[in-house]
Amino acid sequence: MVLPVYMDNHATTPCDPQVLEAMLPYFSDRYGNASSKGHYFGWQAAEAVNIAREQLAGALQADPREIVFTSGSTEAINLALRGCFEMFSAKGRHLIAVTTEHRAVLDTCTHLEKLGAEISYLPVLPDGLIELEQLKSLLRSDTILICVMVANNETGVIQPIQSIGALAKERGIYFFTDATQALGKIPINVEKDGIDLLACSAHKIYGPKGVGALYIRKKNPRVRISAQQDGGGQERGFRSGTLNVPGIVGFGKAAWLASQEMEKHMPSIGRLRDRLEKGLMKYPGVQINGNPIQRLATVTNLSFGEVVGKQLLENLIKEVAISSGSACSSASTEPSHVLKAMGLSDEAAYQSIRFSLGKFNTPEEVDYVIEKVGKTFKSAKEFKPV
């Protein structure tokens, strides 16, 4: 076993060796620009991008022409929300977003409010799930977009996406979902789920950082959004700029692998997660945050009672890589907005830690973490809350 043990896979995952192998030629021998249509090097790059587009579309049960590559989920989210509001603000200015959405969604909503958007923030139940009836009560005649993530990055709680998609279609409202954490972990079918816009990223599924995608429905209904980046007209004009060919190749390979390996890896990762939970919950005051059933197999978010989570993190920093919340908000001293939205106090949120596992974790690592947390738990009980 190699130290430190990595259990922060919801922040990012290590690149799969098969993904790296697929990418390497496009850094050296096949270095062409995918927009260079006049010679062999450009054709090579364009063909590689087309294959990756098909691979990612296959993972989403989408048409390859509905995939727009971006620099990551954050850009995809901004393109979806800003592009939708800009296109339809004359028709309606009302959007709905869940209070436990990723900061990329919530901060974009805050920006749109400055531009005249009206945002209704849908609360969640104490277990992190939304109530469909409450969502229905927020719908208005000028609602243009519903934003609900598939699975939460901090708790793993999975929302009733199909029901939300059916409701949106019934009312003629676009449905956007952030599938960054869900892709490759649970089946996603944009047709069956009624999804109109979907953001995802490569580095959460053992692919490279710096590449993501936005799915934009092409028919029934055809979704129209305004581009947020102008230039050479790449990606059907939705996202201009020279394509990151090696990254896109890696994303495609990672998406294909995730689809192929889901049935194999998710049950085994779930067993490791359950083993970890069982070992940690023998300590007094430890509780699961979020619905214990309707969640991803890859994560557990635990509140450590009287023990301060930050202190546990500091004590374990050299041996175990874990997180107190979203990696994108780790620089903040504020308690997790996700846990607070679920009704936890500031103190309880501060005392919570996310353990997120991946396909490269082992039972030996889980047992080591249980032992290390136990020792730290006992010593940290003497510390005062931050």
> Which residue matches tokens 């201009």?
240
* Residue among 137, 164, 139, 138 at smallest CA distance from 149: 164
Q: What are the phi and psi torsion angles at 340 (to 5°)?
A: -65, -40
Tokens 């230039």 label which residue? 231
For residue 63 the two structure tokens come to 């048409």
Helix (H, G, I), strand (E, B) or coil at 313: helix
Q: Which of 84, 109, 200, 328 is catalytic?
A: 328
What residues contact residue 18 under an 8 Å CB cut-off, 6+ apart?
253, 257
Burial letters 344-359, b for 16+ CB under 10 A, else e = beeebbbbbbbbbbbb
- Judge whether 328 counts as a catalytic residue: yes
* 339 Cβ contact list (under 8 Å, min separation 6): 154, 155, 289, 301, 325, 348, 349, 352
255: Cα within 13 Å, side-chain hemisphere: 29
Q: What single-letter DSSP state applies at residue 122?
A: E
Task: Select from 217, 225, 184, 211 the least CA-distant residue to 198.
Answer: 217
Among the listed residues 362, 35, 358, the one whose alpha carbon sits nearest the alpha carbon of residue 207: 358
* Structure-block tokens of residue 359: 């396909």
Token representation of residue 165: 């998609």
Task: Quote the CA–CA distance of 20 and 13 in Å, as a whole number.
Answer: 13
Position 175, amino acid: F
Q: What backbone torsions phi and psi does residue 6 show, to the nearest 5 degrees?
A: -100, 115
DSSP state of 348: H
Helix or strand or coil: residue 7? coil
List residues with catalytic annotation. Answer: 328
